[in-house]
Amino acid sequence: MTPSGIASFDSTVHSTNLWLHEIMELLSWGDRQRAYQALRAVLHTLRDRLPVDHTAALGAQLPMLIRGIYYEGWRPNRTPVRERKKVDFLGHIAASLRDATADEVEDATRAVLSVLAKHVSKGEVENVKLTLPHEIRELWNTPTHTLWF
């Protein structure tokens, strides 16, 4: 028997803990709450800069609990946010990571995006990256090439 008695609940808790552990490991953090704050802040900031169809496509690939975090407070009629600068992107994340230096915010952002890229299909990651301006796209650890049609 599983701890909650519902396998899908236990699976999503396990997946979420795995993501948090990977973020903590990449950042050499020992604080799970801080890793959660980073995950939440980056997901919300990314989500709000994506067109609705890309937001939904990415959300469909997230574990159930992380998907709930991702969609928490989302107002699709207010997206995508038009500010497109890296400094603005990181500024929104910094607001949730109080007392973090600019370097720590950028490192946390890169760590979360790296974990996201590890667990979401490569094609979806590329689609998301291609909707972002170059400055923000550079925060992803894997190279992306703009497609010209």
Q: Which helix (H) or strand (E) holds 21?
A: helix 7-27
Domain carrying residue 66 = 7-137
Q: Is residue 100 part of a domain?
A: yes
The percent of residues in the chain predicted with pLDDT above 90, rounded, is 81
Q: Is residue 2 part of a domain?
A: no
User: What's the mean pLDDT in 23-45?
Assistant: 97
CA 135, 136, 138, 142 dihedral sign is negative
User: What's the mean pLDDT in 47-64?
Assistant: 96
**Domain count along the chain:** 1
Residue 80: phi and psi, rounded to 5, are: -80, 150
The percent of residues in the chain predicted with pLDDT above 70, rounded, is 93
CATH of the domain at 15: 1.10.490.110
pLDDT score, position 7: 87
Q: Is residue 70 part of a domain?
A: yes
Q: Is residue 1 part of a domain?
A: no
121-149 pLDDT per residue, tens: 999 999 999 999 999 999 996 443 444 33
